[in-house]
Amino acid sequence: MRQLQPDTLIKNPLGRPVVSSVVIACSADELWAVVGRFEGFDAFIPALARISMTGSGVGSLRKKWFHDGNIVVEQLNSHDARTMHMTWTTIYNTLGVARLWAAMGVESLEGQQARATWTIIAEPVDARDKKGFEQFIQDFADSALDNVRRLLG
C-alpha cells in the first residue's frame, strides 16, 4: 500500500493582478476602519446579503452570502492594523472562480487624504473566458471601492 503524503487543494492563483484604488478625503484610520474589517465588507458591497465568521484573526474563515444566492468562503491569511494591510484566499465559491488571492491596503496621503488599494489575483474555472472574467473582477472591485468613497466622502 502506498503511504499517504500531505496534500492540499489550496494553491495560489497565477495571472495578472487586478488592482482597484480609491483616494478619499479622510484619515487613513477612518478608511481602514471600513476596508480593514474582514468581517465587514457588507458595509460597502451591496450585493452581499450577510457575512458570518468562524474564528477571529489570522486563519479565520469568512462566509459571504450574496443576494443572488452565490456563496464564497475565504480564509484570512494576514492582517496588520499597524501597517493597514491584509490578505485572504478564497477556499470555496459558487461564482466560477477556480482560485483567488486578494490584498487590501490603506496608506495616508498629504492633504488629509488616504488611499485604499485592493489587489486581486484570480483564475476562472473556465479558462476560455479569462478576459471577461478579469473585467468582472475589475468592475466588482471598482464598484465596491466607489461605495467606500460614497460612505466616507
pLDDT digits (tens, 9 = 90+) for 8-24: 888 899 889 999 999 99
Domain of 135, CATH number, reads 3.30.530.20
Q: What is the mean pLDDT of residues 40-51?
A: 97
Q: Which residue has 477571529 as its cell numbers?
A: 56
Q: How many domains, the chain?
A: 1
Whole domain around residue 146: which residue ranges? 18-152
The answer to whether residues 97 and 9 touch, using CB atoms and an 8 Å cutoff, is no
- Cα–Cα distances (Å) from 3 to 92, 109, 145, in that order, read 28, 55, 48
Residue 1 confidence (pLDDT) above 80? no
> Has residue 7 been placed in a domain?
no
pTM of the model: 0.93
